């Protein structure tokens, strides 16, 4: 089952650091809700959202863990977003790739040459 995510109108996922206030909205009949008030870290607008209490879980505001370390993250952020030209170039590179064994050989060659140098 996928986890409910709270998102701003701009599309940014809201994390714990963005939350200003939470509370419960209890109802006698029908579902109860958890109230979340936040300021988006991307667009800086205030927002609020109600999440059904049965969909609420403690980890809903925690950032998803990634395997990227800080130096890799900084490198990726410095590269900036992928533009259309890069996507087109990548598309044509995939079309001209031919056989995946060629690609595999390219990646294995540096690893084998490093082992021989040791």
Q: In this structure, what token pair is assigned to residue 95? A: 């079309």
Q: Is the pLDDT of residue 110 over 80?
A: no
Question: Which residue did the predictor score with more confidence, 6 or 1?
Answer: 6
Burial class (CB in 10 A: 0-12, 13-18, 19+), 8: buried
Q: How is domain 1-57 classified at the CATH fold level?
A: SH3 type barrels. (2.30.30)
pLDDT in tens, 2-29: 467 899 999 899 988 999 999 998 888 8
Taking the C-alpha atoms of residue 21 and residue 48, their distance in angstroms, rounded to an integer, is: 9
Domains of the chain by residue range:
1-57, 82-117
Q: Is the pLDDT of residue 93 over 60?
A: yes
């Amino acid at each position: 089952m996928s986890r409910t995510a709270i998102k701003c109108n701009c599309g940014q996922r809201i994390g714990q650091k963005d939350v200003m206030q939470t509370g419960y909205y209890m109802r006698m009949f029908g579902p109860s809700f958890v109230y979340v008030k936040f300021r988006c870290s991307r667009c800086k607008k205030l927002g609020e959202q109600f999440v059904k209490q049965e969909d609420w879980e403690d980890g809903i505001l925690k950032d998803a863990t990634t395997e990227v370390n800080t130096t890799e993250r900084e490198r990726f952020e410095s590269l900036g977003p992928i533009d259309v030209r890069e996507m087109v170039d990548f598309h044509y590179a995939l079309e001209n790739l031919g056989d995946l064994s060629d690609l595999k050989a390219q990646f294995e060659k540096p690893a084998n040459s490093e082992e021989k140098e040791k």
